[in-house]
Amino acid sequence: MKVIIRRPRREVEMPGSRRVRDLLQELKINPESVLVVRGDELLTPDELVKDEETVEVVPAISGGSAHEV
């Protein structure tokens, strides 16, 4: 499967299928700070991603010190 990660943008190839929970763990990404999407579908941690699929890890955390406004 292909995993697209942003900031900095990079692509990771992972052989085989795995659950969202496991792929985040392998990539050492904290699930609290991201959402994982397949196309425009949001995926829960138990969702299985198949070998031929592409998912994107979208960072939820943004901002400098006075950034939100």
15 or 63: CB nearest ligand SF4: 63
CA–CA separation, 11 vs 13, rounded Å? Answer: 7
Residue closer to ligand SF4 (CB basis): 8 or 15: 8
Of 40 and 52, nearer to another protein (C-beta) is 40
Q: Considering the rule CB under 8 A, would residue 28 count as an interface residue with another protein? A: no
**Binds another protein by CB under 8 A, chosen from 12, 35, 48, 51:** 35
d(CA 39, CA 33) in angstroms, rounded, equals: 19
| Interaction pattern, residues 38-67, with another protein; x per rule: CB under 8 A | --xxxxxxx-----------x-xxxxxxxx
Whole-angstrom distance, CA of residue 8 vs CA of residue 41: 22
State which H helix or E strand residue 22 sits in.
Answer: helix 20-26
